[in-house]
Structure 1
Amino acid sequence: MERNRDSETVDTTPRQILSFMLDGDSFGVEISGIQEVLEYRDVTRVPRTPDYMLGVLNLRGRVIPVVDLRRLFGMQIAPVSVETCIVIIDVELDGKRTPLGVLADRVNEVVELDPALISPPPRLGARIKSSFIDGLARHEDDFIILLRLALIFSRDELETVLHESAVDERRASADAEEVSV
């Protein structure tokens, strides 16, 4: 930590970011919020959920909701490729950390970024929601758009997605009990 000339504390600790691609653009999230990266696998669609929610997957007995950021961000939908993966992240809801899967075209790498190379998010006007952008980081000859995934979804959207996946998890548990009987 250093102090700038206005006596404010400035964090000079490098930030570790997992960078991934969506529609040709680089995005990144803090590595501390990532559980793991999975090869793409089919997900079970959950009725009456938003179109950006692909469905749920079973990860070691836990039902994890999976969202498609391309759909959420209004990008062109792309077919699944050999590089497509699901990044399992932790989001916080009511003080509880909850896993959520995010579809990515491909994962690039973990990069260490100097905070001095991170610019604040651009002002996009009142009509475009950009509160989920943490900043823009210059890396090599490109930019990485840093995301605050917990802020991408409204509280209601996140609760809906997590509620539907919890209902699906209870159904899966009940089905498993019936099979074992």
Structure 2
Amino acid sequence: MFSSSDLLTGDQQMQGGQMDALKAPEGDLHILFSIPCGISLALPAIGVREVIALTPDRITPVPNTSPLLLGILNLRGQVIWVADTGQFLGDETPINTDRPEMVVIAIEDEEMIVGLAVDEVKGMEWLDSDTIRPSSNLNDKMAPFIRGEWVLDLEEEQTLKLLDPITILRSARWGA
């Protein structure tokens, strides 16, 4: 067996400090985003089909449906429902659809797919599930969908809440 350093030339081996940046990441990859009230959330990347930036007029409203749903979206020939993620989680502030571009995170499990409209995508990050703690200060509508949280800044009480995409997809709330 050989290591990656065996593949390096003499000059490259001397620059060992630069090789430290190439270490394998710890934890699982997550997509980070926020909802209109400012809560920061994360979804495991494994359950995310794709992230779509689109103009709001590409979402077609459907009358007589749940107020949580913004409408439907044609995603490469497949029609998917798009939800206001904040309102789904109990936030009273609706997502602003009067802007040039919206972001929808398409989550899927088996044959089920739903688009979650979010306020802002903040990026992707490797997060260690071993450092997650039980969530605090959750409203009753949000609690069933949160697995826990990471503490980002203890002094300012900033947290990153981990959503459970399977629970969201299978929620009875969609029929409400």
**What is the TM-score of this pair, normalised by structure 2?**
0.69
Unmatched tracts of structure 1, length 5 or more: 1-12, 162-181
How far off its partner does 1:84 sit?
3.0
The residue matched to 1:20 in structure 2 has which SS? strand
Name the CA distance, whole Å, in 1 between partners of 2:53 and 2:94: 19
Does the aligned pair in 2 maintain the 1:15–1:30 contact within 8 Å?
Answer: yes
Given the superposition, is the C-alpha separation of residues 134 and 34 from structure 1 closer, same or farther in structure 2, using an over 3 Å criterion? same
Does the aligned pair in 2 maintain the 1:16–1:111 contact within 8 Å?
Answer: yes
Name the CA distance, whole Å, in 1 between partners of 2:129 and 2:165: 19
Q: Work out which of the residue numbers 93, 99, 103 in structure 2 matches 1:76.
A: 93
**Who is 2:166 aligned against?**
150
Does the aligned pair in 2 maintain the 1:34–1:90 contact within 8 Å?
Answer: yes
- State how 1:1-181 maps to structure 2 within 5 Å: 14-23=27-36, 24-41=38-55, 42=57, 43-72=59-88, 73-80=90-97, 81-82=99-100, 84-91=102-109, 96-122=110-136, 128-129=140-141, 130-139=143-152, 142-152=158-168, 155-158=171-174, 160=175
Name the CA distance, whole Å, in 2 between partners of 1:83 and 1:19: 18
Name the CA distance, whole Å, in 2 between partners of 1:64 and 1:113: 29
Name the CA distance, whole Å, in 2 between partners of 1:48 and 1:153: 20
Q: Which structure is larger by alpha-carbon Rg, 1 or 2?
A: 2
Deviations 1:65-118 (A, max 9, x none): 100012222331242345630111114xxxx33121000111111111122321
**Who is 2:15 aligned against?**
none
The residue matched to 1:103 in structure 2 has which SS? strand
Does the aligned pair in 2 maintain the 1:34–1:88 contact within 8 Å?
Answer: yes
User: How many equivalent residue pairs?
Assistant: 142
Given the superposition, is the C-alpha separation of residues 144 and 123 from structure 1 closer, same or farther in structure 2, using an over 3 Å criterion? closer
Q: Look up the equivalent residue of 2:74 and give its one-letter code.
A: N
Q: Look up the equivalent residue of 1:79 and give its one-letter code.
A: N
The residue matched to 2:116 in structure 1 has which SS? strand
Identity of aligned residues (%): 27
How far off its partner does 1:138 sit?
2.4
Given the superposition, is the C-alpha separation of residues 107 and 83 from structure 1 closer, same or farther in structure 2, using an over 3 Å criterion? farther
Does the aligned pair in 1 maintain the 2:114–2:169 contact within 8 Å?
Answer: no
C-alpha root-mean-square deviation of aligned residues, in Å? 2.5
Given the superposition, is the C-alpha separation of residues 139 and 15 from structure 1 closer, same or farther in structure 2, using an over 3 Å criterion? farther
How far off its partner does 1:133 sit?
0.5
**What is the TM-score of this pair, normalised by structure 1?**
0.68
Name the CA distance, whole Å, in 2 between partners of 1:86 and 1:123: 26
The residue matched to 1:131 in structure 2 has which SS? helix
